[in-house]
């Protein structure tokens, strides 16, 4: 038997996971855990806002790193 309600239900996508911290120069860095996106920011609020906007309704997990971190970019 086929349940029509099951077909219409959507499984929510996994939330994006970010790491947040400062580099050796004191700039705020936020980067998606798998390297999908990230950036260098002047304030913690700007970094958090960026992470939330990149998540686009998927949910956001942001983990603060107390030690200096560096932004890693790949093409």
pLDDT band at 58 (very low <50, low <70, confident <90, very high): confident
Q: Where are the domains of the chain?
A: 12-64
Closest by CA to 20, choosing from 59, 58, 51, 42, is 51
- pTM here is 0.75
- DSSP H or E stretch at residue 49: helix 44-55
For residues 14 and 52, what is the distance between their CA atoms, to the nearest angstrom?
Answer: 14
Q: How many CB atoms lie within 10 A of CB 68?
A: 12
pLDDT of residue 3: 52
pLDDT of residue 49: 95
Per the structure block, which two tokens stand in for 50? 């960026």
Closest by CA to 69, choosing from 52, 32, 53, 49, is 32
Digit-coded pLDDT (tens) for 5-49: 555 556 667 788 999 999 999 999 999 988 888 999 999 999 999
């Amino acid at each position: 038997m086929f349940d029509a309600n099951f077909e219409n239900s959507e499984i929510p996508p996994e939330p994006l996971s970010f790491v947040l911290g400062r580099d050796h120069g004191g700039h705020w860095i936020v980067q998606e855990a798998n390297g999908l996106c990230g950036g260098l920011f002047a304030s913690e609020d700007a970094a958090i806002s960026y992470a939330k906007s990149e998540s686009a309704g998927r949910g956001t997990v942001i983990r603060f790193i107390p030690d200096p971190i560096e932004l890693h970019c790949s093409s």
